[in-house]
Amino acid sequence: MSSAAPPKGAPPKTRRARHAKASGRGARTARPAGLWRDAWHDLRRRPLFTVSAVLIAVVLVMAAVPSLFTSVDPYDAAGCVLGDARQGPSAAHWFGTDNQGCDTYARTVYGARNSVLVGLGTTVLTALAGGLLGLVAGFRGGWLDAVLSRVTEVFFAIPSVLGALLILSIFRTGTVWTVTLALAVLAWPMTFRIMRASVITARGQDYVVAARGLGASAGRLMFRHILPNAIAPLIVVSTINLGVFIAAEAGLSFLGLGVQSPDITWGLMIADARARFHEAAGPLLFPAALLSVTVLAFIMLGDAVRDALDPKLR
Amino acid sequence: MTGITGGTPSMLPAWGGGAVPRNEPLLAVEDLHVEFATRQGAVKAVNGVDYTLEAGETLAVLGESGSGKSVTAQAIMGILDTPPARVTRGRVLFRGTDLLGLSEENRARVRGRRIAMIFQDALSALNPVFTVGWQIGEMFRVHQGASRRDAERRAVELMDRVRIPGAARRLHDYPHQFSGGMRQRIMIAMAVALEPELLIADEPTTALDVTVQAQIMELLTEIQRESGMGMILITHDLGVVADAADKIAVMYGGRIVEHALVHDAYRAPAHPYTRGLLDSIPRIDRKGRELHAITGLPPNLLDMPPGCSFAPRCPYRQGDCAVEAPPLHRIGPTRGSACHYWREVLDGSHG
Amino acid sequence: MGRYVIRRLLQVIPVLLGATFLIFSVVFALPGDPIASMAGDKRMPPHIVAELTERYHLDDPFLVQYWHYLSGLLQGDFGETFAGGGVSEIIAGKFQVSLNLALTALVMETVVGVGLGFYAALRRGRAQDTLVLAATLLLISVPTLVTGFVLQLLLGVELKRSTGIDFFPISGAFDGWRSYLLPGFVLAGTSIAYLTRLTRTTLAETLRADYVRTAVAKGLPRRRIVGRHALRNALIPVVTYLGADLGTLMGSAVITETIFNLPGLGQELFRSIYERQQPVVVGIVTLLVLVYVLANLVVDLLYAVLDPRIRYE
């Protein structure tokens, strides 16, 4: 890949050699492949990474195949016995039962899917939209950059929870997709800013200037030379955001404008359990706990990846 | 080690000379070793440095970056970041008192008051959010309990003394509003505020324009002459040294490889590294001669070679150089060279 | 400094215009007929419908409506509800509650965040530092939704049940400043964590700065070096974060307000969305945008006061 070609504007050989000798990896730092390899090497030794990766794997499997974790199908109303409402944990109901007498454990397990879908969907949308716009704005500069930057300022001024509520109120009914859309509309300026800033940094680097001097086309410059070197911050922030979006989905569903019943989400479960919370905390605390652990796992992963990618901390 | 009590420093006179026994030099660094802990291992930055300085004397410490000259100075001053830095061996005798054995509190009493320091980059060495008057006056307020007004008045006097035009007017300006040379003058004013006995100047002119460099050196030597303080001038610039210094110590790989009176060293260096340094600067008296750069790289402080650390780059190198580290040979009463073949170097004949 | 202020003031205008326009167009797109929903089940007489339509410019094109709204806003008028009340009056009381909540959160954030960050920075790399960092990770990760209910249960309900201490009200704004303690902390949660990290990093960085080395070389006492020379510099980003956070806190309080039944702007907005009171919806969001923009403006000016390098640009 041409992105791995040695930078053309490298400093004189002696300085490079000395640097390489001193740090043992100097010659590689300018190339994304080396950066990622180093980061991966570094990551694997971090307990924070291992713990978060395992947790995320469990949540992902739970979202994909919830029946692996429970034989109870919470979408089958027949499984809920009103007479069994608000029971404590038992052998039959590990997390006890909720106000409708449904099994809290099974509902919590099945709730993972919607949360993960919103989290992943919003992350992909914001990374694509904000990332691409940021790449173009940072690379091209000029009026396009000025306009896009002003637009993001406007978005930043709108409180995100209220903004999401407003957008969701346009739709007659909330679903995973409306929530994803509402969150993405409000969150893309963040990814835009991050991408734009790191593209501007990468744009000025010697190897990009050299490639431009050699007559590389704009598209090639952007995607082959700049993108691989500028994408690291976006990946870190997207990982962290994944957790944040999952928390946001829970909040919106809790408020009643997100995913609607009979769909199961952690936010809805918390909202349902709220009325009798002080007598029976279980139906609220169990989904709350899983929600927290999931968000924590993604934020931990983001922290670990950032530490591994940040050369300053090495 | 000598027992040091809290009272000792204040028993000594605050200003140079006086009742101090003559056999005690102003400053004596003895066998100083400093290491830095890094991920790759211990970096041996200073490996047994000795030097002495009398009151009123100027010692120029020469060497390239990484030679340990600044680290030595920071160890004397007690401003090394510990950790990662650690003084592993040695003494720093200031008027006979080992500074390394003092409590942090007593050390702070010596710093600023009796030993002062100026740094290379005055812009970053001055606090950006306080006015220069405030920063100079702080010396009087903190160390002498002066009132605000009194401190300001004396700050103006100092600014006048270091020849900052319109001192009274500029008292309330911030560091970034001054030019590089003026900022270094402010640093100097702050350093000499309490009339210290020893001033350490760490590359005081490196960051400045050539014309300004000369002015600053002139100011420093003038202040030193008037006050009689000792001065350690750390530099990699031989041009600065000739006029200002009485003697020089050349450092390489964390050791002193040659020390001499400045004129002796200039006339005939006794260490190949000193010779290399002298050959690499243009000099009017050697016009027409070829300039020589020292080839090769400075030693890796993580993994010091056995034997002489300069050997890999040395034109006088012989077989034993890579095996046996040369001791500091005493050449005369004021001179030493850490080279097995100092005679050949002194004679100027290439081994 | 004058030019800096003017430039900064001018930058506010497009942001305000853009934000109000965006909000107005979203609300314009809201489904449903406000007049019909006002009447409830009954049919409204046609002449009243016509009158109301005329009065609220409902037949005008979108841009004209926006213009009417904007010109009213410039005179400090947030418009009228469809029931005829002034939006400004409705908002005022709710604003007070939201402001109290946000200010409580801000105070907690400052005390806990700066304190913890300071503590950790001076013990960098040691066990206490790691502990503080782990705590911030938890605070960032556990959603408001969870901390809110858990604290309500532990400090509001269980504490009272087990010890009889009834210090933390868990619902409503009837107990003066105490009503805001728990929700204030819940709202501040993430900000506390970020501020702790920010204080820790900037203070640790400034402690390594050259001018701090100079302060040591000047022989100043440790307390003065940290408390004056380092802190004064480290506080610049901290203070600016705090200022900007006021707007964020006010705008993100909906969930906290709901959990603790505080009648603030978030709750009111929520109700107005359900009741299709578009003027109130627009008014509230506009107000919060104003708070956010003004808070940021004040912060930028404050920045210039704190950092002489900007002041004299």
Please enumerate in sequence order all residues whose Cβ is within 8 A of that of A285, keeping only pairs 6 or more positions apart, or say none. Answer: C149, C150
The model's pLDDT over C256-280, given as tens digits with 9 standing for 90+, comes to: 998 888 888 888 888 888 777 777 8
Q: Which chain B residues are closer than 8 Å to A45 by Cβ? A: none
Nearest CA in chain A to B38: A314
B127 Cβ under 8 Å from any chain C Cβ: yes
Q: Where does B12-131 have alpha helices with state H? A: 69-77, 104-110, 122-125
Q: Which chain C residues are closer than 8 Å to B110 by Cβ? A: 219
Which helix (DSSP H) or strand (DSSP E) does residue A148 occupy? helix A142-157
Look at residue B250 and give its three-state secondary structure.
strand
Structurally, how many domains does chain C consist of? 1
Nearest CA in chain B to A21: B300
Q: How far apart, in Å, are the Cα atoms of C241 and each of A171, C4, C186, C310?
A: 35, 20, 18, 17
Q: At residue C10, does pLDDT exceed 90?
A: no
Å between A189 CA and nearest CA of chain B: 33
Residue ranges per structural domain of chain A: 36-313
Nearest to C145, CA basis, from C194, C190, C99 = C190
Eight-class DSSP state of A214 = T
Contact assignment for C288 to A162 by CB distance below 8 Å = yes
Tell me how far the alpha carbon of residue A70 is from its chain's centroid: 27
Contact assignment for B143 to C229 by CB distance below 8 Å = no
Residues A208/A213/A219/A220 CA torsion (nearest 10 deg): -70
| Rounded to 5°, angle at Cα A93 from A87 and A99 | 40
Could you tell me the pLDDT band of residue C103, with boundaries at 50, 70 and 90? very high
**How many CB pairs (< 8 A) connect A and C?**
125
Å between A294 CA and nearest CA of chain C: 9
Tokens of A89: 């944990």
Q: Which chain B residues are closer than 8 Å to A24 by Cβ? A: 40
* Domain with C102 in it: 97-264
Residues C264, C253 contacting (CB under 8 angstroms): yes
Å between C232 CA and nearest CA of chain B: 8
Does residue C34 fall inside a structural domain? no
B297 Cβ under 8 Å from any chain A Cβ: yes
Residue ranges per structural domain of chain B: 9-114+196-347, 115-195
Q: What is the pLDDT, as a whole number, of residue C286?
A: 85
Contact assignment for C137 to A303 by CB distance below 8 Å = yes
Q: What is the pLDDT, as a whole number, of residue C32?
A: 61
Residues of chain B short of pLDDT 70, as ranges, are: 1-23, 282-293, 349-351
Alpha-carbon distance A85 to A96, whole Å?
9
Per-residue pLDDT of chain A (314 residues; tens, 9 = 90+): 333 333 333 333 333 333 333 333 333 334 566 677 777 887 888 888 889 999 999 999 988 888 887 777 777 766 676 666 667 777 666 667 777 767 788 888 888 899 999 999 999 999 999 999 999 998 888 889 989 988 998 888 888 888 888 888 888 788 889 999 999 999 999 999 999 988 988 888 888 888 888 877 888 888 888 888 888 889 889 998 999 999 999 989 988 888 888 888 998 888 888 877 777 777 888 889 999 999 999 998 988 888 887 755 43
Q: Which chain B residues are closer than 8 Å to C214 by Cβ? A: 119, 125-127, 187, 190
Alpha-carbon distance A82 to A71, whole Å?
20
Contact assignment for B126 to C211 by CB distance below 8 Å = yes
The model's pLDDT over C60-91, given as tens digits with 9 standing for 90+, comes to: 777 777 887 777 777 777 776 666 667 777 88
Residues B113, C220 contacting (CB under 8 angstroms): no
Length of chain C as a residue count: 313
Contact assignment for B300 to A21 by CB distance below 8 Å = yes
Is the sign of the CA dihedral B99, B103, B104, B110 positive or negative?
Answer: negative
Residues B188, B219 contacting (CB under 8 angstroms): yes
Q: Which chain C residues are closer than 8 Å to B106 by Cβ? A: none
B300 Cβ under 8 Å from any chain A Cβ: yes
Å between C21 CA and nearest CA of chain A: 10
Å between B254 CA and nearest CA of chain A: 17
Q: At residue C16, does pLDDT exceed 80?
A: yes
Q: Which chain C residues are closer than 8 Å to A162 by Cβ? A: 251, 254, 266, 269, 284-285, 288
Contact assignment for C285 to A159 by CB distance below 8 Å = yes
Return the bridge partners of B46, or none.
B34
Å between A292 CA and nearest CA of chain B: 35
Of B78, B112, B128, the CB nearest to C309: B128
Residues C235, C241 contacting (CB under 8 angstroms): no
The model's pLDDT over C200-238, given as tens digits with 9 standing for 90+, comes to: 989 988 988 899 999 999 988 888 999 899 988 998 889
For the domain covering A36-313, report its CATH number.
Answer: 1.10.3720.10
Return the bridge partners of B64, or none.
none
**How many CB pairs (< 8 A) connect A and B?**
6
Å between A23 CA and nearest CA of chain B: 9
Cis before residue C143, ω within 30 degrees of 0? no
Tokens of B102: 């003092």
Nearest CA in chain A to C158: A278
Does residue C125 fall inside a structural domain? yes
- CATH number, residue C256: 1.10.3720.10
Contact assignment for B300 to A14 by CB distance below 8 Å = no
Interface of C with A in 83-142 (CB under 8 A): 137-138, 140-142
pTM score: 0.81
Q: At residue C140, does pLDDT exceed 80?
A: yes
Å between A302 CA and nearest CA of chain C: 11
Q: Which chain C residues are closer than 8 Å to B121 by Cβ? A: 210
Contact assignment for A22 to B297 by CB distance below 8 Å = no
Q: What is the pLDDT, as a whole number, of residue B7?
A: 36
Of B111, B121, B176, the CB nearest to C218: B111
Tokens of B153: 């008045």
Q: At residue C192, does pLDDT exceed 60?
A: yes
Q: Is the ipTM of this complex over 0.85?
A: no
Look at residue B344 and give its three-state secondary structure.
helix
Q: How far apart, in Å, are the Cα atoms of A189 and each of A177, C8, C220, C245?
A: 19, 21, 46, 18
Counting as contact any 3 or more CB pairs under 8 A, the partners of C are A, B
For the domain covering B9-114+196-347, report its CATH number.
Answer: 3.40.50.300
